């Protein structure tokens, strides 16, 4: 996901204005409420890795995460895998052997009977993949201002943003 999801300058300003609090280890933080998972994530759903029956299965792989490889050839796959395994077991780790192993790995993946579903990226649900991409993009954007997203203790659907407190002296210096 390359689309900007936050107005990072606004988030930075809100964090600057937020009250400073100390945790039990005397670390100082500033935290703001971003919103609810139900409103912000692409799926608008709350689920966990082990309980996600409210997600729709991927239409391309029917929730399996893999699809049949139309170029898959079982014999060629097995022969290539054997060659690569033999190379890994018997030869020294020279640059030539590393390049040969990389080439065999590509061939092996080319001949596999099944391959990762390109729609859901092996997750089994397009909604879950879009949510994963959203969380990755959120992390990238928050890293720019040394902040991170996390849930709240009270409501599992709340998304909070925190950073280590930046204290400003009376003369305006940090």
Q: Is the pLDDT of residue 1 over 50?
A: no
pLDDT band at 49 (very low <50, low <70, confident <90, very high): confident
Q: Are 115 and 109 in contact (CB under 8 A)?
A: yes
Query: Mean pLDDT throughout 12-39?
Result: 93
CA 10 to CA 64: how far, in whole Å? 41
Residues 6+ apart with CB under 8 A from 160: 31, 32, 33, 34, 149, 150, 151, 152
- Phi and psi torsions of 127, nearest 5°: -60, -45
Give the span between the Cα atoms of 65 and 19, in whole angstroms: 45
Question: Which range among 5-14, 23-32, 86-95, 114-123 shows the weakest confidence by mean pLDDT?
Answer: 86-95
Higher pLDDT, 46 or 2: 46
Whether 129 and 123 have beta carbons less than 8 Å apart is answered as: yes
pLDDT digit string, tens, across residues 91-141: 778 888 888 889 988 888 888 888 899 999 999 999 999 999 999 999 999
Q: Look at residues 67, 74, 71 and name the one whose alpha carbon lies nearest to residue 116.
A: 67
């Amino acid at each position: 996901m390359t689309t900007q999801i936050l107005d990072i300058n606004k988030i930075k300003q809100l964090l600057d204005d937020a009250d400073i609090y100390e945790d039990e280890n005397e670390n100082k933080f500033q935290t703001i409420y971003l919103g609810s998972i139900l409103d912000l994530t692409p799926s608008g759903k709350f689920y966990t890795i082990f309980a996600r029956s409210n997600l729709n299965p991927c239409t391309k792989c029917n929730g399996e995460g893999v699809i049949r490889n139309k170029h898959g050839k079982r014999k060629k796959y097995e022969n290539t895998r054997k060659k690569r395994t033999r190379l890994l077991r018997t030869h020294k780790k020279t640059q030539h052997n590393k390049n040969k192993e990389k080439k065999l790995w590509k061939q092996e993946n080319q001949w596999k009977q099944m391959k990762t579903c390109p729609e859901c990226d092996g997750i089994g649900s397009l909604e879950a993949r879009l949510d994963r991409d959203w969380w990755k993009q959120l992390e990238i954007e928050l890293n720019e201002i040394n902040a991170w997203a996390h849930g709240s203790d009270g409501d599992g659907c709340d998304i909070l943003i925190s950073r280590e407190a930046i204290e400003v002296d009376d003369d305006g210096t940090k």
